[in-house]
Amino acid sequence: MRSRPALLILFILFSLHSLAQLPKDLQRKTDSIFAANPQAIGVLIHVEAPDRNLSCNYAVGNDGKNATKKLEAHQPLLIASTTKTYVSAAVLRLVEKKKLKLDQPIKELLTAVTVQKLSAAGYDLNAITVKHLLSHTSGIRDYVDENYFKFISENKQFNWTRELQLERSASLGAPLGKAGSVFKYADVNYVLLTEIIEQKTGKPFYTAMRRLLKYRCNGLKSTWFINLEQKPKNTLPMVKQYWSTFSWNIPDLNPSWDLYGGGGIASTVSDMAHFYQKLFNGKIVKNRAVLQQMYTDVPPDFITNYCLGIRKIKVHGITGYNHGGGLGTDVTYFPELNATISVAVVEADKRSAALALRDEVVKLLR
């Protein structure tokens, strides 16, 4: 029979081997998923799992449709609706600082112009709260629809403003329902939230968010609102994302179509993973009671997994706090694993490949 010290040494050696093996397994899984989904053009991933002493990224494939340049893991890309988690966290920071309340009616928080437009369209802004916007239960019609995408395809360099997007929402018809009684995922909710952030801070929303979320202190070196902020120094060129549904080379579009809170952030998969890891470990919103609101069902009788700027999902039976983006990004924090998996594909329509990779990595970590 082996002695206890010998068994302990064997256990330590096995653990070290397992830790060293994880990055190699991650690369193999990524290569395998990409080989099965070459239409994805390229795949990027970052895994942050401090309890496994793991912080690594990887990329495979090419940087753009018909490109020969290889994709690099640290290249930033537009994260689209994944931006909503950042907006939600900024709002919760204002709640934490007692500058805002989740149950506060939005009528007293918006500009007079916005109040006039939405009120004229039939919305009771005294009944719609900040929480309704965060949870997509406001009943406000979205400006994003089939005609919106058609217009973008025909006018790729059109410069959208927040005001034009809100005007379009107000013009599309009566409210979808009473606030709190209907769930409808809509970018307009988060566009309104960035206006509220500006009204409460007196600063452009992107500047306020940078300060509220403490990008620099939290190591977010390659995260910024495209066109609204300067690209950080020493950041690699943007990934040349593609969306085959519309035959869009994303760099050919004026990014204002998805810029004011519903989307708009450019970041790397590594920065996204670090942000989620720090957020759900109480390093950004430090008041646990406030942070808990982010992943509490809203309301509990809705058949939806959306809370406040995140979705609650299950992967192989493990709960995750997640948000994806329509341009092929996805990031999930798994409390049980204390780990974050951030993934992206170059071809937006192959986001399913990114999700398949995430699910495979969960198997490696559990």
Calculate what percentage of the chain has a pLDDT beyond 90: 91
CATH number of the domain residue 134 falls in: 3.40.710.10
pLDDT tops 60 at residue 6: no
Domain membership of residue 10 (yes or no) is no
Q: 5: pLDDT confidence band, cut at 50, 70 and 90?
A: low
Write down the pLDDT at residue 4.
Answer: 60
For residue 125, the enclosing domain spans: 26-365
Q: What is the pLDDT of residues 133-188, one digit of tens each?
A: 999 999 999 999 999 999 999 999 999 999 999 999 999 999 999 999 999 999 99
Tell me, what amino acid is at 167? E
Is 4 within the bounds of a domain? Answer: no
Whether the pLDDT of residue 332 is over 80: the answer is yes
**Which tens digit of pLDDT belongs to each residue from 311-323?**
999 999 999 999 9
pTM of the predicted model as reported, rounded to 2 decimal places: 0.94
The number of folded domains in the chain is: 1
Q: Is residue 299 part of a domain?
A: yes
Would 2 be classed as within a structural domain? no
Asked if the structure places residue 198 within a domain, the reply is yes
Cα dihedral 339, 293, 132, 86 sign? negative
350 inside domain: yes
Residue 132 inside a domain? The answer is yes
Q: Measured between alpha carbons, how far is 199 from 211 in angstroms, rounded to an integer?
A: 15
Q: What are the φ/ψ torsions at residue 61 (nearest 5 degrees)?
A: 105, -165
